[in-house]
Amino acid sequence: MPKLGDYFITTLKKAHLEWGSHRRTNSRDITYGEGYLQIPRSQAVKIEIFNSNKPEAINIFNCNSVDGFLKNVRVKASGSSTAGDIYAKQLQGNGNLQLIGGWYNHVNAQIGDKVKVTWTSKTDIEIEKL
């Protein structure tokens, strides 16, 4: 499980910035403003960022952004590359899929921008657009 000082950097793609509207499936209605932070697979394994397929793991974190826009909000490590995989592939708002999208809008995030996610404790993270 992640510990103080662990971090990863992810590069934003259109799907991350427009999660609710840019999709290959019609599994749910279009919702503008949604966004997520991709967790590179290698980093999920290295840092041990788990999803709910590993029930004893912490997968909900308190999140703050360096710019101060997000303050003590909850994000969830979720998704998987293959069915049943225990490693998370993304961080998303816990119960609010527009949480990260709102932050992207605030920091004027664009395709190709980099975001650093740093653990400030085993249950707290800080995000920063680089």
Over residues 75-86, the mean pLDDT reads 94
pLDDT (0 to 100) of residue 16: 86
pLDDT at position 112 over 70? yes
Cβ proximity of 53 and 63 under 8 Å: no
For the 7-129 domain, the top CATH level (class) is: mainly beta
Kind and range of the H or E run holding 92 = strand 90-93
pLDDT (0 to 100) of residue 51: 97
Stated pTM of the model? 0.88
pLDDT (0 to 100) of residue 19: 61
**Tens digits of residue pLDDT in 15-50:** 888 765 455 555 545 555 789 999 999 999 999 999
Higher-pLDDT residue of 85 and 24 is 85
Using 50, 70 and 90 to split pLDDT, how confident is the model at 12?
A: very high
pLDDT (0 to 100) of residue 33: 73
Cβ proximity of 41 and 77 under 8 Å: no
What whole-number distance in Å separates Cα of residue 90 and Cα of residue 33?
16
Helix (H) and strand (E) counts in the chain: 3, 7
What whole-number distance in Å separates Cα of residue 4 and Cα of residue 114?
21
Using 50, 70 and 90 to split pLDDT, how confident is the model at 3?
A: very high
What whole-number distance in Å separates Cα of residue 63 and Cα of residue 46?
21
What whole-number distance in Å separates Cα of residue 27 and Cα of residue 123?
31
